[in-house]
């Protein structure tokens, strides 16, 4: 049995370097840029009007109007002070013009423009290269692509981006007693919550499962399901069948398929029977326990860090915060204890409410929680008002969860 710290270190060290793929901009959101993106032009490429209004030259009591300047044209110059031209937003500023005045503060009569409130010189002009200079790196390698970044890439003349490839993930739940959620459980049977729990977690995190499989506790069917899952994915997540029971066949089946286990148990609660393995082809396998709260802990604290590292995220370590317990917590010495909490930011810092729970199978106790706190192995518990370490759940903290 290894420590929590050693388990995470092992996972990240064994995670392969991300691959690179080229995607059209519309499909690049959520990916990490694998190259420096450099603009081939300045932006704006010319001095342009920031408003609908009039381009002026000099200060005068009134201005004689010239032809209107729409966007997408090359306008004639303003010849001298006292002349102006109506101009549209985004249109090039004519040579000689030094100010754009908004249409709202003007009046026009018989081709003569008068201004009720004159702005300062240079007002409402977006100057060439004000936003981007030619040759500027607009998206450094390692940038997370959001819709804003796709627009910036388009401004820089790109139709595609080289990005780090997102690993594919499949899910395999196990258990002869596990039945589909729509079925009524008979004696000794339970509904399959883990399949949808894991697949929805992955989808929300940006790694939708390729497919979700289920197998009874039978080596032959389990091996067949695992082979199918591995044939369509880089990473296999299993739930159940990884402990030391006589019907826990997942480890032996994966070893038959060429996987080497780097650890089988972790000194944590919940989720002690948590395993991790890799094969010679770069495939990875996480063996999650069968209890759903243990599944959530494994996903939040290990699997997601691996997925981000594999996808090229430079930030793949959880940002650890400190919060004050709202009630006392008890534990036994020996293992690090994770417990779900409701974190609330106050004027004096984070306060953590701890819901009552009946154990790692009590998924209802996670409802409304947004964080995971822990006490170290040597601790016997903590009183209300004690400061403890915690992380926000990935869905609650977003990118702020990572450092």
What does the pLDDT look like over 368-395, one tens digit per residue? 999 999 999 999 999 999 999 999 999 9
What CATH number labels 4-19+167-310? 3.40.980.10
In the chain, helix, strand, coil percent, each to 5? 20, 30, 45
pLDDT number for residue 134: 96
Beta-carbon contacts of residue 155 (< 8 Å; ≥ 6 apart) = 39, 43, 132, 138
Which is nearest to 353 in space by CA: 382, 374, 316, 325? 325
Instruction: Spell out a b/e string for 2-40, using b for 16 or more CB atoms within 10 Å of the CB, else e.
Output: bebeebbebbbeebeebbebeeebeebbebbbbeebebe
In the chain, residues under CATH classification 3.40.980.10 are 4-19+167-310
Q: Is the pLDDT of residue 283 over 90?
A: yes
In the chain, residues under CATH classification 3.90.105.10 are 22-42+132-164
Q: Take residue 238 and report the two structure tokens written for it.
A: 């299993």
| φ, ψ at 43 (rounded to 5°) | -130, 130
- Helix, strand, or coil (residue 120): coil
Residue 341: pLDDT band with limits 50, 70, 90: very high
In the chain, residues under CATH classification 2.40.340.10 are 321-401
pLDDT number for residue 219: 94
Name the average pLDDT for the chain.
95
Q: Is the pLDDT of residue 75 over 90?
A: yes
pLDDT number for residue 245: 75
- Region of 160 (left: φ > 0; alpha: ψ -120 to 50; beta: rest) is beta
H or E segment at 152?
A: helix 147-155
What CATH number labels 321-401? 2.40.340.10
Q: Output DSSP code: residue 331.
A: -
Contact at 8 Å (CB) between 290 and 241?
Answer: yes
pLDDT number for residue 5: 97
Torsion sign, CA atoms 205, 210, 215, 221: negative
Domain 22-42+132-164 has CATH 3.30.1520.10: no
Q: Is the peptide bond before 354 cis (omega within 30 degrees of 0)?
A: no
pLDDT number for residue 359: 79
CB atoms under 10 Å from CB of 143, counted, come to: 21
User: How far is 95 from 242, CA to CA, in rounded Å?
Assistant: 75
Per DSSP, helices labelled H in 194-324 are 194-205, 219-231, 250-256, 292-298, 304-310
Residue 364: pLDDT band with limits 50, 70, 90: confident
Query: What's the CATH fold of domain 48-126?
Result: Molybdopterin biosynthesis moeA protein; domain 3 (2.170.190)
Beta-carbon contacts of residue 68 (< 8 Å; ≥ 6 apart) = 85, 86, 87, 88
Residue 169: pLDDT band with limits 50, 70, 90: very high
Residue with tokens 């396998």, as numbered in its chain: 285
pLDDT number for residue 164: 98
User: How far is 341 from 367, CA to CA, in rounded Å?
Assistant: 10
User: How far is 244 from 231, CA to CA, in rounded Å?
Assistant: 27
Contact at 8 Å (CB) between 95 and 125?
Answer: no
- Which carries the bigger pLDDT value, residue 361 or residue 14? 14
Count CA atoms within 13 Å of residue 11 on its CB side: 30
In the chain, residues under CATH classification 2.170.190.11 are 48-126
- Report pTM: 0.88
User: How far is 66 from 383, CA to CA, in rounded Å?
Assistant: 79
Residue 175: pLDDT band with limits 50, 70, 90: very high
């Amino acid at each position: 049995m290894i420590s929590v710290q050693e388990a995470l270190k092992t996972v990240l060290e064994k995670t392969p370097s991300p691959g690179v793929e080229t995607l059209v901009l519309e499909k690049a959101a959520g990916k990490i840029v694998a190259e420096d993106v450099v603009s081939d032009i300045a932006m704006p490429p010319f001095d342009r009007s920031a408003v609908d209004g009039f381009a002026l030259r000099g200060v005068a009591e009134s201005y004689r109007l010239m032809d209107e300047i729409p966007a997408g044209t090359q306008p004639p110059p303003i010849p001298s002070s006292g002349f102006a031209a109506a101009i549209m937003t985004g249109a090039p500023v004519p040579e000689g013009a030094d100010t754009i005045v908004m249409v709202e503060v003007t009046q026009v009569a018989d081709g003569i423009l008068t201004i009720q409130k004159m702005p300062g010189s240079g007002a409402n002009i977006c100057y060439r290269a004000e936003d981007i200079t030619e040759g500027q790196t607009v998206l450094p390698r390692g940038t997370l692509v959001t819709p804003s970044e796709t627009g910036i890439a388009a401004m820089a003349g790109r139709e595609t981006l080289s990005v780090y490839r997102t690993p594919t993930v499949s899910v395999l739940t196990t258990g002869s007693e596990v039945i589909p959620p729509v079925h009524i459980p008979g004696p000794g049977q339970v509904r399959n919550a883990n399949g949808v729990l894991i697949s929805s977690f992955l989808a929300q995190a940006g790694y939708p499962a390729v497919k979700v499989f289920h197998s009874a506790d039978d080596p032959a069917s389990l091996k067949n399901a695992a082979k199918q899952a591995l044939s369509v994915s880089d990473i296999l997540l299993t739930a159940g069948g990884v402990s030391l029971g006589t019907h826990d066949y997942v480890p032996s089946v994966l070893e038959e398929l060429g996987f080497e286990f780097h650890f089988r148990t972790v000194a944590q609660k919940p989720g002690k029977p948590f395993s991790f393995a890799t094969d010679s082809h770069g495939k990875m396998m996480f063996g999650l326990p069968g209890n759903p709260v243990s599944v959530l802990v494994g996903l939040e604290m290990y699997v997601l860090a691996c997925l981000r590292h594999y996808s090229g995220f430079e930030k793949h370590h959880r940002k650890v915060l400190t919060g004050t317990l709202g009630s006392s917590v008890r534990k036994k010495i020996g293992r690090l204890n994770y417990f779900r909490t409701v974190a609330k930011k106050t004027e004096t810092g984070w306060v953590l409410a701890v819901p009552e729970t009946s154990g790692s199978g009590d998924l209802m106790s996670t409802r409304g929680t947004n964080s995971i706190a822990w006490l170290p192995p040597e601790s016997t518990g903590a009183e209300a008002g004690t400061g403890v370490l915690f992380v926000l759940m990935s869905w609650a903290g977003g990118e702020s969860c990572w450092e």
